[in-house]
Amino acid sequence: MLNLKNFINYVEKRNPNESEFLQAVTEVVEDIIPFLNENYPEYETLKILERLAEPERVVSFRVAWLDDSNTVQVNRGYRVQMNSAIGPYKGGLRFAPDVNLSILKFLAFEQVFKNALTSLPIGGGKGGSDFDPKGKSDNEIMRFCQSFMTELYRHIGAETDVPAGDIGVGTREIGFLFGQYKRIQNNFTGVLTGKGVNWGGSYIRPEATGYGLLYFVACIYDYIDQNLEGKTVCISGAGNVAFYAAEKAIALGAKVITLSNSSGTLYDEDGFTHEKLTYIATLGRNIDKFTEKYKSSSFHAGEKPWQFKCDIALPCATQNELNGDDAKKLIENGCKCVAEGANMPSTAEAITVFHAAKVFFAPGKAANAGGVAVSGLEMSQNSIGQQWTSAKVDTRLKAIMENIHKTCLRYGKEESGYINYLKGANIGGFVKVAEAMKSQGIV
Ligand code: NDP
Ligand code: 2IT
């Protein structure tokens, strides 16, 4: 019998000082080990869990580049190729000053389960750099991306490893990375997703994570015979995921009252509208300027959104942005549903609070899988040399999110009737990857 404590100690010993990676592994094995002891005892001798917690390959490399004042800058680039049992490694690239191996390993580990849940043939990976894009010129971003790809290109490929965006990496960066890959390899191929729609990208990819998150939340409410009409929503972040989550929430009849970034939280008691969101998009990171135009709003410097009364909370910024105290505050204020647009935004303490209060808690690996799902659809379109309409991609995205919701119900429904979405997602993702690993032998 596998023992939870022993396994966590084993992972901790092998990966010292990697707190985020340990947190992500713990969050999964707490559900997997009891399930596995009961249903798949043979996986212990096959060391399936030990293998899942060990990246197939990690590359780390120097990225040197010249800034606009002709000063040499040195950053560190990484790619964590976690698991390829069900398809080529797939997952985003993050450019942010706090990027380190622990963060990329946690993200790559989560990605393995998330990608399996989409039901598409994609393995898990993640990469990035400690490069800080804030305040950099377009030319600096381009030179950094070119230098980064000049090493990364030898480790990736349309059927090997297909990176995409994440924090600090959007269509502009994917463009510079793609241009450099094509120049080095002399090959126009689907080696990255999140490309522009007129050069190989898929419609709906920018919207996919936020839209998919709301399709998942709509499934949760549909399950209890309700809808989102009139529900109050707090969102954190003001980037790709947060923005399109807000847009879709509003379209589904909800009232979105917050957005945020690392400087603070923007609150609008009247709720954001499509017009207000369009205006926010023009403000860049200066979302506090919104209050000058809209008197119903206020900016709360240095604060998080979780103090405001809402029915639904959607953390869409970064890991560990919602702690145990925030969770308690949300519950006190009547919040009934928390769905993660970001990866691992809730701390372990916060998740314990949500489960104890029996609120719906949808983990990122299920709720934010829409982004990578449409990336998978972009890979399909590239490989057959076609581009599908927005309507077709959106319909497929919705079906994928509904299917993930069904998987969560299948493996996460408890005797009391409470749906433990975390357990459902962990087991649902695990079963597919573990069976593939077993079939492929000891590798
Ligand atoms: P963006 O770079 O577009 O936006 C990130 C947003 O989060 C910004 O508003 C940023 O504020 C805020 N933020 C980032 N770090 C912090 C921090 N430490 N404290 C407070 N706010 C912070 O990234 P995305 O929207 O793409 O990603 C957001 C989250 O969603 C991440 O966890 C990512 O892994 C996850 N995700 C992304 C997917 C995608 O397709 N893009 C798919 C699935 C998940 P500021 O500008 O001030 O830093
Ligand atoms: O966390 C994620 O799922 C992403 N950043 C998207 C990955 C992808 O390959 O589209």
Mean pLDDT by 10 residues, the chain (443 residues): 97 98 98 97 97 98 98 98 98 98 98 98 99 98 98 98 98 98 98 98 98 99 98 98 98 98 98 98 97 98 98 98 98 98 99 98 99 99 98 98 98 97 98 98 96
Catalogue all structural domains in the chain, each as residue range(s) with its CATH number: 4-52 (no CATH), 57-199 (3.40.50.10860), 208-367 (3.40.50.720)
| Number of Cβ within a 10 Å radius of residue 419 | 21
- Give the CA angle between residues 135, 136, 142 to the nearest 5°: 155
- Residue 345 Cα distances to 18, 138, 172, 407, 422, angstroms: 17, 30, 25, 22, 13
Q: Is 255 a catalytic residue?
A: no
Out of 105, 106, 109, 111, mutate this one to test ligand 2's pocket (max ligand atoms within 8 Å of CB): namely 111
Q: What integer pLDDT is reported at residue 406 of this predicted model?
A: 98
Closest CA to 129 of 149, 106, 109: 149
Does ligand 1 lie within 6 Å of residue 258's CB atom?
A: no
Which member of 90, 105, 114, 126 is catalytic? 126
Q: Is the pTM of this model over 0.85?
A: yes
Q: Report the nearest-CA residue for atom 40 of ligand 1.
A: 371
d(CA 316, CA 235): 7
Give the per-residue pLDDT at 113: 98
Give the nearest ligand 2 atom to 166 CA. 5
Find, among 422, 434, 436, the residue nearest to 50 by Cα. 434
**For ligand 2, which residues put their CB under 6 angstroms from it?**
90-92, 111, 114, 164, 166, 193, 343, 371-372, 375
Check pocket membership of 316 for ligand 1, CB cut-off 6 A. Answer: yes
Candidate from 20, 167, 192, 266 with most ligand 1 atoms within 8 A of CB, to mutate: 167
What is the full DSSP assignment across 165-190?
-BTTB-HHHHHHHHHHHHHHHT----
Q: 372 CA distance to ligand 2 centroid (A)?
A: 5
Task: Give pLDDT, residue 93.
Answer: 99
Give the residue, by CA position, lying nearest to ligand 2 atom 3: 372
